[in-house]
Amino acid sequence: MTVWRCILTGLLALTGVHAWAADQPVPKLAPAVLAQAVTDDSFSVPTPGELLAALNKVGKPNWQAQYRPPIPTAYTSRPQIALNLGGLIADGYLAVEAEDSQQVKNIGKDIITLAKTLGISENVLKRGRSIEDFAENNEWSTLKEELDATQNEVKLAMDEQQDEELTTLVTLGGWIRGTQAVSGWIASNYTEPEAKLLRQPGILALLRAKLAALPVRTREDDLVKGLDPRLQAIQEMVSFPVTATPTQADVKKLNDAAGELVTNITSKR
């Protein structure tokens, strides 16, 4: 049984690739979307799937255009594995939104490979029905419902594991890859309302604070040590005033910065 959907859903419930600060007007999403948002203190953090669905309401984005080549899965550094697991999870939601069954399968295998190296519980890995069955039968609506339904129970399993270090790095990796994908689509299909969605200074401050709170051994990892300066630059790009709108050039600059960070995270060391 292939069961990566449980990892995908539960970790992305923790990840929240996109978020809006409490002082920022929340985009008009469906009530069900807002009800399922993950709350962290003063933040309402929609999952990547929820944000992609919101953008789908203004048209049918070509999410396949935001795919990337396969990444390595034989990393030896635990921090690098966790960061790339988060990125793959974001890729998984892109594949689901694109209704691309083969891409779903490919990403699923890589997610399982990285998840197992991080010691994800076998009980979590074995939960639920096979995502390949849904994909092969084109049951995309059912698949999305199943992804939503498993969020809470998988999050609970992650909480019981008490691995805040894992959660932080997976969260960060997912946010970075998700930002790359969404900003790439908005840059190529620019409209002001969608560009405003990129304003998220609060979530960057939260992620950077969590990064700074990691154990010393992790903060001293060469890859992790180089993250904060890049994140600080990205934070400045997404901290525009509530009344302002990024230009298409601004969005492209953000996409380039996120892309460079993704490349850095995926490069073998």
- What local confidence, expressed as pLDDT, does residue 89 receive? 81
DSSP sequence for 90-120? HHHHHHHHTT-HHHHHHHHHHHHHHHHHTT-
- What local confidence, expressed as pLDDT, does residue 44 receive? 41
pLDDT digits (tens, 9 = 90+) for 64-117: 999 999 999 999 998 999 899 888 888 888 888 888 888 987 887 888 788 778
- What local confidence, expressed as pLDDT, does residue 11 receive? 40
Name the DSSP class of 198. T
- What local confidence, expressed as pLDDT, does residue 4 receive? 38
Binned at pLDDT 50, 70 and 90, residue 22 comes out as very low
Residues of the chain with pLDDT > 70: what percent?
Answer: 65
- Which structural domain range is residue 215 located in? 4-266
pLDDT digits (tens, 9 = 90+) for 31-65: 333 233 334 444 444 556 666 666 766 667 899 99
Residue 21 pLDDT exceeds 60? no
- What local confidence, expressed as pLDDT, does residue 246 receive? 96
Dihedral sign, Cα of residue 263, residue 265, residue 111, residue 88: negative
Answer with the residue of higher pLDDT: 5 or 75. 75
pLDDT digits (tens, 9 = 90+) for 164-223: 677 788 888 888 998 999 999 999 999 998 898 888 888 888 889 889 999 899 999 999
pLDDT digits (tens, 9 = 90+) for 116-144: 787 765 655 554 445 667 777 887 777 66
Number of domain units in the chain: 1
Q: Map the chain to HEC letters.
A: CCCHHHHHHHHHHHHCCCCECCCCCCCCCCHHHHHCCEEECCEEECCHHHHHHHHHCCCCCCHHHHCCCCCCCCCCCHHHHHHHHHHHHHHHHHHHHCCCHHHHHHHHHHHHHHHHHCCCCHHHHCCCCCHHHHHHCCCHHHHHHHHHHHHHHHHHHHHHHCCHHHHHHHHHHHHHHHHHHHHHHHHHCCCHHHHHCCCCHHHHHHHHHHHHCCCHHHHCCHHHHCHHHHHHHHHHHCCCCCCCCCCHHHHHHHHHHHHHHHHHHHCCC
Could you tell me which residues come within 8 angstroms of residue 35 by beta carbon, excluding any fewer than 6 positions away? none
